[in-house]
Structures are given as C-alpha cells and as structure tokens.
Amino acid sequence: MAYMLLIVEPPGQRRDRGMESGRAVYEQMLRYADTLKARGVLMATQSLKSECARLSVRGGKRNVVDGPFTEAKELVGGFFLLDVKTREEALALAGECPAAQWATLEVRETGPCYE
C-alpha cells in the first residue's frame, strides 16, 4: 500500500531558522530519505518551496491566486511517498523522520477519491 507522509510546517519557520540551520535540517532529511531507500520503501520524495499558486475553474472561468498565503496557518513543506504493508508501518517510519521534531507529519493512504 502507498502512504504519503506530508510534512506540515508553521509558515514562518524556514525564515526564522536561517540559511545555516536550514541546510543542516535539509541534510538530516536527505539522510532519512537514504535510509528509506535502503529499506526499499521509498517511492518518491521532494521538498516544496513556500511560493505557490491556487487554481480553480468555476463556470469555465479560470482563477489563479499567487501565494504564499498570509492567512495560511501551515505550509506543506515536502513529502515522502512510501510503499509499506500497513498504516502502523507508515506511522512508525513517520516517527523516525527528523521533521517530526519541528513539524507535523500527516500520514495518508493513497487511494481512489470515491471511497
């Protein structure tokens, strides 16, 4: 089963951390990804920048709003897509992620949107 670990951060955390600390945190995350690869459970991973856009189409009209969004209470800072047998295994791996110390990891099983 595929599970996505979404890293949900406070919006100003990266700015407040600074460049040197930010690079150290990023290196920790790269090492974590390497351990997931070695275990054979990592399908994909990526860090996400805070700049973004929201798009909707209503009545055939496209609307794009550029971010970051000041009203946002959190920022999705990245993800790991895992191939594991159980939710418990996904939660255990999320607990090993360094980001769990400074962010929240949202664990979601992938699947069809109609279930």
The count of other CB atoms within 10 Å of the CB of residue 2 is 14
Domain assignment present for residue 63? The answer is yes
pTM, full prediction:
0.86
Q: Does residue 10 surpass a pLDDT of 70? A: yes
Cβ–Cβ < 8 Å for 113, 79 = no
Omega prior to 112 cis, within 30 of 0: no
* Domains in the chain, number: 1
Supply 40's token pair: 């054979």
User: Under DSSP, is residue 110 helix (H, G, I), strand (E, B) or coil?
Assistant: coil
The pLDDT, as a whole number, for residue 71 is 65
Q: Check which CATH number belongs to the domain holding 6 and give it.
A: 3.30.70.1060
pLDDT digits (tens, 9 = 90+) for 35-92: 999 999 999 999 998 888 889 999 999 999 987 766 667 889 999 999 999 999 999 9
Is 114 a domain residue? no
- Segments forming the whole domain that contains residue 64: 2-109
